[in-house]
Structures are given as C-alpha cells and as structure tokens.
Amino acid sequence: MQQVTGNKPWRWAKSRESHQQMADMIYGYFASQIVRTFVELSIADHLADGPRSTDEIAERTGAEPVVVARLLRTGIVYGLIEVDADGRHHGTPLTETLQSSAPRSLRGMALGATNNSHWTPWSGLPGAARTGQCQSEAKLGMPSFDYLAQNPVEAEEFTAYMESLTGLWAIDLARVIDTEGVGLAIDVGGANGALLRELRVANPGLRGVVFDRPDVATAVAPVVAESGESDHIQVIGGDFFEGVPAGDLYLLKFILHDWDDDRCVQILSRCREAMRPGARVVIIEMIVGESNDPGVAALMDLNMLVVTGGRERSITEYDELLKRAGLQRISVSNDSPPQGVIESVAL
C-alpha cells in the first residue's frame, strides 16, 4: 500500500482565531452539498474495492471528468479523499460511512437532510425567528408532509433518512426496550420499519405493524415483502390523528417532535384509546437538557421549527403531554444519547 496524503478536514473547535472559526461556520453549507454530491455520484461505493484515478471515477459515475477532479479535490479538504503518489484516490473512514452497503450507512441521511424538503425551509430561519412560524408553506408552498406526498423521490429519501437515524442513534434500542411477552408492536409513523427490524433481531418472535401515511405504506409494503419479513411485519396506511391499530406496544420514534403540543396530544390519545390491557407507549426522541447544556437537541429543535413547526422537548414537557393524553411515564432512559427512551402506561 503506497503512502497516501491529504489535508486534514476543517475543525471548528481547533480554530484559535474567532474570525476564521466564524468563516468556517458560515461556509458550513458547502460541506453538506459536497457530501450530497458524493452520495448522488456513489463515489464511496466506487472506492469501496480500491483506489481509483479521476478518469476511472468519472467513467463510473458518468459525470464530467474535469468537474469530478474538482469535486475530489474538495473531498481532500474535508477528509473524504486521500491521494497516493500515483494520483489515485482512496476513500477514508468518513467516506465509508456513505457506502450503500455499510451496516450503519449515512447515505440516506446525506440525501434526506439536504433535499428540497429540508434544505429550502432552512433558508427561512430568520423569518421563523421573527414570527415563530414553520417555513415550509412559505418556502415550499405547502406543509412539509404534503410536499413529500407530492414528491415521491424526495419522500423516498426522507424514508432513507429515518432509517439512517435509526442506525446512527437507535442501535441500542433493542437493549433498552423490553419486548418480551409483547404480542403486537405498532410502529407509529414507522416509515420502512427499521426500528421494528432492530427489535426483531433481539426478539425474532416479535410481530409488528408499520403504520404510516398511505403513500408511505404503499411504497414500503413491497420492500417489507422482499425482505422476507412480511410474515412478522404488516404494513398499514392511515392517519394517526384519526386512529391507530390495537396493540401491546406503541413505538413513536422521532414522531412527536414533528408537531405542536395539541397535535402531539392527539397522537398520544389515539394510542391510549387503542391500547390493549397492559400495553405501553414508548417515545424515542431527543430530550432537551439543562439550560447550560441543552445538547444536540437544541440544533434539531430549530430544524423542527423551520421544517414541520414542531419542537424538541424536555422530560418535563413530555410528562405534561402524556398526562393530557391519559398516560403516565414509568421510566426514562438516556443510555443511548442523544435520544432518550420514555416509557408510559395508561393512567
């Protein structure tokens, strides 16, 4: 293996000069769109089996060779690419996180977090700060979930985004959430059922329902069938504001943060009404920390504001939502940061 060289990626925290640190932050959007382009061109996959020249990568991606060379050069700046003495490009551990076959691939996150449904509303953050209003209607012409329903390619990216989040932040949930003795788990707003599949690894006998919008259910049902999970996982389309299937365990992963308090209470109330005796409702969300250490939830909170009009919450605020819906918290786990796991039962 020849020695490879490359500039170290920018590190905000290592910048000793405030103006340079601020400049790096201002140019932060460069990085997210460069990563998206790496993913759209599948560069990580093309480098998975060894180093490639610029021309080889351009041929494999079908992209313009001169621009591919310029893109790879910026990849060096961000630590995505290293170059050997022969001018061949090597992937790095960062690049590997974008491989489509990686067990915890962030490919879906790179697409879902940078497509129009997320990217464009963020340009309205100053307006949201002034008015307190979600920016999707102002920037997209409609609420974000309506926009996704009308744009299936971006909806598919959003579903992949949710799966990436499960792989990134929810890998310990099978240990935290006890499914022993659960007859039927309902994954409310479960997209492609990534959480249910994680729980079934720990408990292969677990049966579940992925309950999501009809357009999502239509897209996901064939995927579940092809995976061989259809004997254990059923996909049902519906509206969780109107009602949810009866079950023994309700899973709400990154659902409540999409909505204001009243809508959250509606969702929880529908779960409360459908619960079988002894059932539990499990909320998986980022939990806002103390005022002097709010954690990454503070960043996601602004994302929810501009994209959906929702918010991240403290444990006290979740307790209030549960109480309004006829539920009470029985435990909370922060063992898998940044998200917490809140378990509740009927009052």
Catalytically active residues are 257
Q: Which helix (H) or strand (E) holds 269?
A: helix 261-274
CA gap 191, 153 in Å, rounded:
14
**Local structure of 1: helix, strand or coil:** coil
CA gap 264, 131 in Å, rounded:
22
Q: Beta partners for 52?
A: 89
Choose among 325, 330, 315: nearest CA to 285.
Answer: 315
CA gap 339, 87 in Å, rounded:
42
State both tokens at 134: 């979600």
| Strand-by-strand arrangement of the 4-5 sheet | 4-5, 81-84, 89-91
- 64 to 33, 53, 78, 83, 230: CA distances (angstroms): 17, 14, 21, 20, 43
